[in-house]
Amino acid sequence: MTTLYTMPGTCSLACNIAVAWLDAPVEIHNLAYGDHKNEEYLSINPKGKVPALKFDDGDVLTELAAIMAWLGAEHGSEGYARDKQLGYREAEALAYMTSEIHASYGPHFAAKNFAESEDAQSEVKEAAYKTLAGHYERLEDNLAQAGGEYYLGKRSFADAFLYVLTRWIEQTPLSIDEYPKLKAHRERMESDPGVRTALDRQDMELIG
């Protein structure tokens, strides 16, 4: 069976949610934190990151957006298919969330990769939080323009990753209370059975 490798607290939760929504025949293998650096996992994904999707034939697909695209194309019905309007808007949203917003969290998660001294690391983090505030404002506006319920007006994989981002904000000096649409979206997602299933499979708790 195809296997999705996840780890608590990581963006792999979004793929886990997508699998639950699609009821896709994908086994979830949740790594203990730190095991992504072990030789056993590095033999699967040498980048040492999650998510990774391992197929029956041993082939491996990495990168969240690519895995989401495969899930939609292979197991999605109308709304998740790549040739539908929602599909390409979803791809656009995921590209923004993964390549820009997720990347902007780099100094928060690993400031030592951006600066050596503690003072410099603090400065790098502060700059990152200002950038993230701008991203969250854009997410808030986009969600409002789409009607406030789902990021693209209808439920899509973009909502799964957006949920991850609304969890991560709690680790920063930013407050979800400044973004009421995003806060309501997080609450809505946490009442979703698929989200709860994914959280349980990944040994994670509800935020709200």
Q: Are 59 and 95 in a shared domain? A: no
Q: Rounded mean pLDDT of 15-19?
A: 97
Residue 123 lies inside a defined structural domain of this protein: yes
Residue 185 lies inside a defined structural domain of this protein: yes
Q: What percent of the chain has pLDDT over 90?
A: 82
Kindly report, residue by residue over 189-201, the tens digit of the pLDDT.
Answer: 999 999 999 999 9
Q: How many domains does the chain have?
A: 2
Q: Indicate the average pLDDT of the chain.
A: 93
Q: Are 90 and 68 in a shared domain? A: no
Q: Are 164 and 91 in a shared domain? A: yes
Domain stop point among 47, 78, 109: 78
Residue 117 lies inside a defined structural domain of this protein: yes
Residue-wise DSSP of the chain: -EEEEE-TTSTHHHHHHHHHHHT-SEEEEEPPTTGGGSHHHHTT-TT--S-EEE-TTS-EEESHHHHHHHHHHHH--TTTSTTSHHHHHHHHHHHHIIIIIIHHTHHHH-GGGT-SSHHHHHHHHHHHHHHHHHHHHHHHHHHHHTTSSSTTSS--HHHHHHHHHHHHGGGSS--GGG-HHHHHHHHHHTT-HHHHHHHHHTT-----
Q: Are 74 and 159 in a shared domain? A: no
Q: Are 48 and 130 in a shared domain? A: no
Residue 42 lies inside a defined structural domain of this protein: yes
| Domain CATH for 40 | 3.40.30.10
Q: Are 70 and 119 in a shared domain? A: no
Q: Rounded mean pLDDT of 28-53?
A: 96
Residue 12 lies inside a defined structural domain of this protein: yes
Domain stop point among 24, 46, 78: 78
How confident is the model at residue 174, as a pLDDT?
A: 98
Domain that holds residue 55: 2-78
How confident is the model at residue 77, as a pLDDT?
A: 73
Q: What percent of the chain has pLDDT over 70?
A: 97
Structure tokens at 152: 């693209």
Name the nearest CA neighbour of 87 among 158, 146, 18.
Answer: 158
Q: Are 95 and 168 in a shared domain? A: yes
CA 68 to each of CA 5, 75, 98, 159, 183: distance values in angstroms, whole numbers, following the listed order: 13, 10, 12, 12, 24
Q: Are 188 and 95 in a shared domain? A: yes
Q: Are 19 and 67 in a shared domain? A: yes
How confident is the model at residue 82, as a pLDDT?
A: 54
pTM of the model: 0.94
Kindly report, residue by residue over 135-180, the tens digit of the pLDDT.
Answer: 999 999 999 999 999 999 999 999 999 999 999 999 999 999 999 9
Which of the residue ranges 19-23, 51-55, 118-122 would you say has the lowest mean pLDDT? 118-122
Which of the residue ranges 73-87, 94-108, 112-126, 127-141 would you say has the lowest mean pLDDT? 73-87
Q: Are 72 and 102 in a shared domain? A: no
